[in-house]
Amino acid sequence: MRFLPSTSSDGVREQLFTLGEIPGVLWTPDGGGAVTRPLVLLGHGGGRHKKDPEISALAHRLVTECGYAAVCVDVPAHGDRPEVEEYDRLAAENQARVEAGEELAPLIADFQALVARRTVPEWRAVLDAVRVLDHVGPGPVGYWGVSLGCGLGVPFVAAEPRVRAAVLGLGGAHASADAASRITVPVRFLIQWNDERVPREQSLSLYDALASEQKSLHANPGGHGELPPSELDDALSFFTRYLTG
Amino acid sequence: MRFLPSTSSDGVREQLFTLGEIPGVLWTPDGGGAVTRPLVLLGHGGGRHKKDPEISALAHRLVTECGYAAVCVDVPAHGDRPEVEEYDRLAAENQARVEAGEELAPLIADFQALVARRTVPEWRAVLDAVRVLDHVGPGPVGYWGVSLGCGLGVPFVAAEPRVRAAVLGLGGAHASADAASRITVPVRFLIQWNDERVPREQSLSLYDALASEQKSLHANPGGHGELPPSELDDALSFFTRYLTG
């Protein structure tokens, strides 16, 4: 794991790093010493990257309001990572299939399942590397990811026993229902009631498929990109309930 | 409006009253002077009454944690009110229809619509009477009611412009969709994912029918009677957001 020089602002220390080929960013309390603290892994959306404004804002709040560490890495073919020829080919094929009248949602889901075969082991390696740092430590882990961050997050949370609680959403059951049925930790699941990309029925089915005893569905009006700010406030309360103390 | 002698405990003053034929209870901060404060009208569930433990606990929290007033009155044929011959006859008829194979939910909905024709004017009169009291005053009004409290609450909130925010749920669209389409204030809508009395599809349709721009659906696993305590915490935050300041 190689770190660039860290920067600090508003009480948050930000460290860009690479772990092998994976570029990432770690946020921790500025001046926080060798204290074990909860860590939340953030999964960014499709076409976005590790320092997307939404991701960065949530990371800052997790650090300043909860005293947590937060980490996000670029998904393959996103941010600072090179294009992946196979993904480009599939994206072009999918585009053609949609134009020929096929439904978009199952194609997106299949694609996300393919990407998850790389991101699940990558993210587990990120947890290994970050949790041995003195200013993070082996504390409880949470996961937050919607849209692509849900498509990749469901198989990750299903595979990773260190994750104790997860916020997921804006994703459907097409490719994820099987992995969802292996998730047993508390989940907050977010739906946008007028989501133009994920059919409502598919979102409800993915919530239904989660095996967690503690799972709450929160739905709000609006399209795929219009998650209300109150759900970020709520995510902080959710993580505080399940990762702190 | 006639009051019985009030009692106080744990910082909460409780006043039983009758308004005409309607028995009710008003909770306010003990020792609270002539201060205008938000008022939440609570609608109790079927077969329950104005001092049901769930209602009483929520009222105490609204008073002690938010500084609000809370009021609940017995629905006709509940609590201290006499039986209503017409309701008894309908209940018996409905029982026979269910035994003959009819669906229960639409019959419950029709029945609640009938009861609402009495409770809507009654509850409006309760607001009139309570908001002129010195220790309540003409502040913003909220409504909380699930199950029967939703079936009666939807037409009440639709008809009553003094209500600024409402928590509703455990109810379906059969009889309420039309009134729901006239509700425009912020609504928190609660669904139990495994509700054995209200079909999930009907609950989702009622949420869908609400005309409010600000409406959040919260769903949790479990049956009709298993609303998790966290949704009461959440209701307090919801009212604080929309009735305070």
Residue A38 CA to residue A244 CA, distance in Å, equals: 7
Whether B193 and A221 lie within 8 Å, measured CB to CB: no
Residue B99 contacts A where some CB pair is shorter than 8 Å: no
Residue B220 contacts A where some CB pair is shorter than 8 Å: yes
pLDDT in tens, A148-157: 999 999 999 9
pLDDT at B47 over 70: yes
| Other beta carbons less than 10 A from residue B20's beta carbon | 11
Which of B191, B210, B218 is the best substitution to test chain A (most A C-beta atoms within 10 A)? B218
pLDDT of residue B16: 98
pLDDT of residue B189: 98
Which of A216, A220, A231 is the best substitution to test chain B (most B C-beta atoms within 10 A)? A216
* Sheet strands (E) in B49-116: 69-73
Residue A188 contacts B where some CB pair is shorter than 8 Å: no
Percent of chain A scored above 90 by pLDDT?
88
Q: Are A112 and A151 in contact (CB under 8 A)?
A: yes
Residue A229 CA to residue A208 CA, distance in Å, equals: 25
What lies within 8 Å, CB to CB, of A160 at 6+ separation is: A120, A123, A124, A127, A141, A143
For residue B217, give the chain A residue with the closest CA: A219
pLDDT in tens, A211-239: 999 999 999 999 999 999 999 999 999 99
DSSP A124: H
| Other beta carbons less than 10 A from residue B83's beta carbon | 10
Residue A194 contacts B where some CB pair is shorter than 8 Å: no
- The partner residue sitting opposite A219, judged by closest CB among B216, B220, B221, is B216
Distance from A158 to chain B by nearest Cα, in Å? 19
Higher-scoring residue by pLDDT: A31, B201: B201
pLDDT at B33 over 90: no
For B164, the token pair is: 């600024």
pLDDT of residue B163: 98
For A67, the token pair is: 């005293």
Lowest-pLDDT choice from A64-73, B80-89, B105-114, B120-129? B105-114
For A50, the token pair is: 């590790």
Distance from A212 to chain B by nearest Cα, in Å? 9
pLDDT of residue A106: 84
Which of A187, A190, A193, A203 is the best substitution to test chain B (most B C-beta atoms within 10 A)? A193
Residue B196 buriedness (CB in 10 A; 0-12 / 13-18 / 19+) = exposed
Contacts of A191 in chain B (CB under 8 A): 217
Domain boundaries, chain A: 2-172+232-243
Strand duo A2-3 + A12-19: pairing = antiparallel
Whether A219 and B221 lie within 8 Å, measured CB to CB: no
Looking at domain A2-172+232-243, what is its CATH homologous superfamily? Alpha/Beta hydrolase fold, catalytic domain (3.40.50.1820)
Whether B217 and A218 lie within 8 Å, measured CB to CB: yes
Q: Kindly provide the ipTM of the predicted complex, given to two decimals.
A: 0.87
Residue B218 contacts A where some CB pair is shorter than 8 Å: yes
pLDDT at B181 over 90: yes
pLDDT in tens, A71-129: 999 999 999 999 999 999 998 999 999 999 998 888 888 899 999 999 999 999 999 99
Mean per-residue pLDDT, B164-186? 93
3-state secondary structure at position A53: helix
DSSP B131: T
Whether B208 and A193 lie within 8 Å, measured CB to CB: yes
Residue B97 CA to residue B104 CA, distance in Å, equals: 8
For residue B208, give the chain A residue with the closest CA: A193
- CA quadruple A8, A11, A15, A16: dihedral sign: negative
Whether A204 and B208 lie within 8 Å, measured CB to CB: no
In the block, which residue shows the tokens 């939703």?
B150
Q: Which CATH class is domain B2-243?
A: alpha beta
Whether B220 and A220 lie within 8 Å, measured CB to CB: no
3-state secondary structure at position A138: coil
Torsion of CA A147, A153, A158, A159, to 10 degrees: 150
How far apart, in Å, are the Cα atoms of B95 and each of A161, A175, A213, B200? Answer: 50, 44, 34, 22
Radius of gyration of chain A (CA): 17
- The partner residue sitting opposite A216, judged by closest CB among B208, B215, B218, is B218
Query: Average pLDDT over chain B, rounded to whole?
Result: 95
Contacts of A217 in chain B (CB under 8 A): 191, 193, 217-220
Distance from A195 to chain B by nearest Cα, in Å? 13
Residue A216 contacts B where some CB pair is shorter than 8 Å: yes
Whether A217 and B213 lie within 8 Å, measured CB to CB: no
pLDDT at B173 over 90: no
Residue A204 contacts B where some CB pair is shorter than 8 Å: yes
Q: At what angle do helices B230-243 and B53-66 cross, to 10 degrees?
A: 50
pLDDT at B74 over 70: yes
Distance from A208 to chain B by nearest Cα, in Å? 8
pLDDT of residue A231: 95
Q: Are B30 and B8 in contact (CB under 8 A)?
A: yes
pLDDT at B108 over 90: no
Q: Are B86 and B55 in contact (CB under 8 A)?
A: no
Q: Which amino acid is at A127?
A: L
Mean per-residue pLDDT, B50-78? 97
- The partner residue sitting opposite A221, judged by closest CB among B204, B215, B219, is B215
Per-residue pLDDT band at A245 (split at 50, 70, 90): low
